[in-house]
Structure 1
Amino acid sequence: MTENTNETPIENGEAIDQATQTPAAEGENVNAEAALQEQIATLQQDLLYAKAETQNVRRRAEKEVSDAHAYAATKFARDILSVADNLGRALGALSDEQRADEAFKPFVTGLEATERELLSVFERHGITRIASIDLPLDPNQHQAMVEIPSDKEPGTIVQEMMAGYMMKDRLLRPAMVGVAKKAD
């Protein structure tokens, strides 16, 4: 019987060739394992990016829903501002004699109560009047309509022609104002 040095004892009916178990084959196994590890790392990175993107989309959606709830009435609020303006003009047009006249008292009281209720509704919904008089012009909140000669610092608001309003942190309508300029 001759012995073959390239073969090992028979297992399960087949001879195992020791030549296939060379260092080159082990190197291929190492390379394949390294490639698999690289693939795993790439897939883990992709998974992290996908999770982050999903979280960003969720946050944006939540913010959009929140903004939609907070500012849903913006168009209606802009429209109702003219009602507040007209009510203020009506009260401003009443003279002291008319306010003192007993025949006008219920009318004046009703107008004042309506104005108070309207301002209360504005407050409940985060609608606030923009301060203007004696403040510097802020182009984000004020719209300069005229320049008025004055002894005040140029750019200071000296007259408010129409009140401006904010709804929470958004501008509903800029205040229409007159701004001081150097006297001639």
Structure 2
Amino acid sequence: MTEETSGTETATENLREETAEAAPEVAEHDRTAELENQLAEAKQQVLYAQADIQNMRRRAEKEASDARAYAATSFARDVLSVADNLERALAAIPAELREDEKFKGLVVGLEATGRELAAVFGRNGITKLSAMGEKLDPNKHQAMMEMPSDQEAGTIVQEMQSGYMIKDRLLRPALVAVAKKPD
């Protein structure tokens, strides 16, 4: 039995030595796999961070662009009332006063002021909407009333106040009357 015991002990001892030699290799392999996973995770986080930064940069550029393009919106709305009053003043001048030599200079000056105001609007991306004869578009027109007309229902038949756009945004809707079928 001593030989058997001695053989079992030797086998056990050999197994311990093999396990001890393999354990560092397994531990080293596990550690390498763990580090590779951490590296992949860190790379993924860097990619996400770069994407976030790029999105923030795009958003900031768009906000800055919009701020430049539409900064004058409030001022433009205020100036529209001046343009409306100038148009009403010119429309109120009777034809005989337009031809009178005493008033002709005044009328020409008012008309020149109106043209200059329109040019300033144009340089700043402010355009007048045309509404007469068009179908009612709730994105551009505000219907104030319906009028009996021989035109198709929903067609604009009267413009009470002009509408304006600033670049691609509505600055002020046109106040209009739309056609309805006569009773």
Q: What TM-score, normalized by structure 2, do the two folds share? A: 0.88
Residue 27 of structure 1 pairs with residue 19 of structure 2: no
CA distance, structure 2, for counterparts of residue 23 and residue 128 of structure 1:
81
Deviations 1:92-126 (A, max 9, x none): 01111111111110010000000000000000000
2:3 aligns with none
Give the structure with the higher percent helix.
2
2:97 aligns with 98
CA distance, structure 2, for counterparts of residue 31 and residue 150 of structure 1:
86
Unaligned 5+ runs, structure 2? 1-9, 11-16
DSSP 3-state at the match of 1:137: coil
CA distance, structure 1, for counterparts of residue 72 and residue 118 of structure 2:
16
Unaligned 5+ runs, structure 1? 6-17
**Residue 21 (structure 1) shift:** 5.2
CA distance, structure 1, for counterparts of residue 155 and residue 30 of structure 2:
76
Where in structure 2 are the equivalents of 1:1-184 lying within 5 Å? 22-184=21-183
**Residue 158 (structure 1) shift:** 0.8
**Residue 25 (structure 1) shift:** 2.5
Deviations 1:30-89 (A, max 9, x none): 111111111111110000000000011111111111111111111100000000000000
Aligned length: 169
In structure 2, what residue type is equivalent to 1:113?
Answer: A
CA distance, structure 1, for counterparts of residue 146 and residue 128 of structure 2:
22
CA distance, structure 2, for counterparts of residue 37 and residue 88 of structure 1:
75
CA distance, structure 2, for counterparts of residue 89 and residue 54 of structure 1:
52
In structure 2, what residue type is equivalent to 1:30?
Answer: H
After the TM superposition, list the runs of 4 or more consecutive aligned residues in structure 1 that deviate by more than 6 angstroms.
Answer: none
CA distance, structure 1, for counterparts of residue 29 and residue 130 of structure 2:
74
In structure 2, what residue type is equivalent to 1:75?
Answer: S
In structure 1, what residue type is equivalent to 2:47?
Answer: L
In structure 2, what residue type is equivalent to 1:93?
Answer: A
CA distance, structure 2, for counterparts of residue 103 and residue 162 of structure 1:
31
CA distance, structure 1, for counterparts of residue 154 and residue 56 of structure 2:
44
| Alignment root-mean-square deviation, CA | 1.6
Q: What TM-score, normalized by structure 1, do the two folds share? A: 0.87
CA distance, structure 2, for counterparts of residue 137 and residue 34 of structure 1:
68
DSSP 3-state at the match of 1:22: helix
1:12 aligns with none
Deviations 1:120-169 (A, max 9, x none): 00000000001101111111110000001111111111110000101101
